[in-house]
Structure 1
Amino acid sequence: MTARTVVVTDSTACLAPGVAETRGITVIPLQVVIGAHVYDEGSEGASPEAVAVALKEFTPVSTSRPNPSAILEVYRSLAASGAEEILSVHLSGDMSGTFESCQLAARQAPVPVTVIDSRQVGAATGFAALAAQDVIDDGGDAEVAAEAARARAAASRSLFYVDTLEYLRRGGRIGPAAALLGGALAVKPLLEIRDGKVASLEKVRTANRALARLEDLLVQAAGESPVDICIAHLANPQRAQDLTARLTERLADNLQGRPVQCTELGGVLGAHVGPGMLAGVLAPRL
């Protein structure tokens, strides 16, 4: 029997394998178009490896939001299984039309649906969905769970390094960081998600310096607070593992025994940042 209130998120949320199922969170897949073929994001469709290979081979890659009718079917299925209310937590509406599709579907859903724009991407959206699920598991109602999701998303920091701004430019997702394009060849940009959009954080001359700076910024952002951290990459496993190990050591007090998560970025977000990307998402435990 499905719980009275069910949390829904999308496949960009970077939830670790098995976490969504264990926690009872429903995940809606976004789509990736590789060449002439459309795939659901995930290991059986548009995997990170498949997207990275396509980008390296200059195969056209684009992404697509879920159709409102497909989302409505998810909401209806959950209602039929016993859900009385749904919280749908998704990536920034400025970065994807997924939030809008969910709003349209929610109007026709057979049970109340609260659609939340996390104003974040990747693991920060996932941490917001998990915060909502924590409240529900503790017996809280949907309104309190929604506020928990919004609060955790707002408190999170999403910082990332890219080898090139070209993929963000192609996908139209570069936002306030567009000012970097003129000198893009001379710098290795550090970027962040600010108010739901990609924004410039710092310009560094080499990849090694950029990654060292990324590490320091995450440590500074943690301060003295208990935090969760996720390191995500696309076709950059060694640097991701190295960063994970260093943060595990430097932030041991903040982590309080919890691991630094390390994962490969999903195909949808990967299509917009390109191979070599390395991100750090830090979410205070509120």
Structure 2
Amino acid sequence: MNTQKIGILTDSGTDVPAEYAREHGIRIVPLSIHFGDDAYEDGVISREVLFKRLESEMPKTSLPATEHITAAFEAFEREGCTHVFAITISGALSGTNGMIALMARDFPNLDIRVVDTKNIGIAAGFTVMRAVEMIADGVPADEIERILVRDLRETRVFFYVPTLEFLKRGGRIGKVAATIGIALGIRPIISCDEEGAYHTVAKPRGEGKALAAAVKIAADFAKGYVCRVAVAHANALETAQRVRDDLKKHLENVKTFFEGEISAALSVHSGPGLVGIAVERVAPTAE
């Protein structure tokens, strides 16, 4: 019998739906957005205000406040947790993972496992959901950690942005910089590589071909597996709905399907218009 009591901490960049987090007792520490002297925690600033201000301002984002992380670990201690999984967005895209790993040393009474998903948005959130399921099944912490790390590349995100300008301004463009410019009509499909950095997986021309390419790449990745799938967007609901409808025509074995907006902090770096598809290959389909 597994006597471990395991908690989960994640950051708002994993886009774990708020309702899911409440239902499963997941603690989320918010990233922050700064427009000059105006600071907002992720989840507080409205999308309407965010995208209006993005038209004329370029904000900065910052890591979760240390007091939020400390408060979360203290709460896990009070609840009698023996172990905590701290599951974050890619360390190649954010310093959150490193900061939480450093702060975890101050809580020797907790066995804290810090997991770098090497992913972003709801694709990183799928790793959180995988951990939730294994905890519910009574899987020991060592085995949970082994499976999560082993299967990181079973989850991928493929996204389209109408311009690379926001990624460039925010310093998040990574290996996408080698892509021929948007001015030539190329609309790259971007994913995270083995190190968790952005890289280009396709270079179609025009929005229509780009969205169709994202659907095909995601469907090909999902083929032969039972999958968890999501379509996410940044102020691009109608486009995301078209992608969702097209994607569903190409998927056969979907365990769960999520859709929604990416967090405000992620939207700062993508800009409006992003549409992304996340796929987690949960298990091979039966022959």
TM-score (norm 1): 0.92
State the 1:66 CA deviation: 1.6
State the 1:162 CA deviation: 0.6
Letter in 2 for 1:285: V
Letter in 2 for 1:64: S
Distance 1:146 1:48 in 2: 35
Q: 1:48 to 1:198 in 2, by over 3 A?
A: farther
Distance 2:48 2:190 in 1: 23
Instruction: Note the aligned Cα RMSD (angstroms).
Output: 1.6
Distance 2:86 2:38 in 1: 28
Paired residue for 2:163? 164
Paired residue for 1:263? 260
Q: Do residues 197 (structure 1) and 197 (structure 2) align? A: yes
Paired residue for 1:105? 103
Q: Do residues 8 (structure 1) and 5 (structure 2) align? A: no
Distance 2:244 2:36 in 1: 34
Paired residue for 1:64? 62
Paired residue for 2:219? 219
Distance 2:211 2:281 in 1: 22
1:227-246, aligned counterparts within 5 Å?
Answer: 227-246=227-246
Distance 1:12 1:47 in 2: 16
Distance 2:224 2:139 in 1: 28
Letter in 2 for 1:155: E
Q: 1:141 to 1:160 in 2, by over 3 A?
A: same
State the 1:168 CA deviation: 0.5
Letter in 1 for 2:10: T
Q: 1:173 to 1:248 in 2, by over 3 A?
A: same
Letter in 2 for 1:176: K
1:105-144, aligned counterparts within 5 Å?
Answer: 105-109=103-107, 110-144=109-143
Secondary structure at the aligned position of 1:269 is classed as helix
State the 1:154 CA deviation: 2.0
State the 1:52 CA deviation: 2.1
Secondary structure at the aligned position of 1:285 is classed as strand
Q: Which moved more, 1:96-105 or 1:65-74?
A: 65-74
Secondary structure at the aligned position of 2:188 is classed as strand
Give 5+ residue unaligned stretches, structure 2. none
Give 5+ residue unaligned stretches, structure 1. none
Number of corresponding residues = 277
Kept in 2, the 8 Å contact 1:95–1:197? The answer is yes
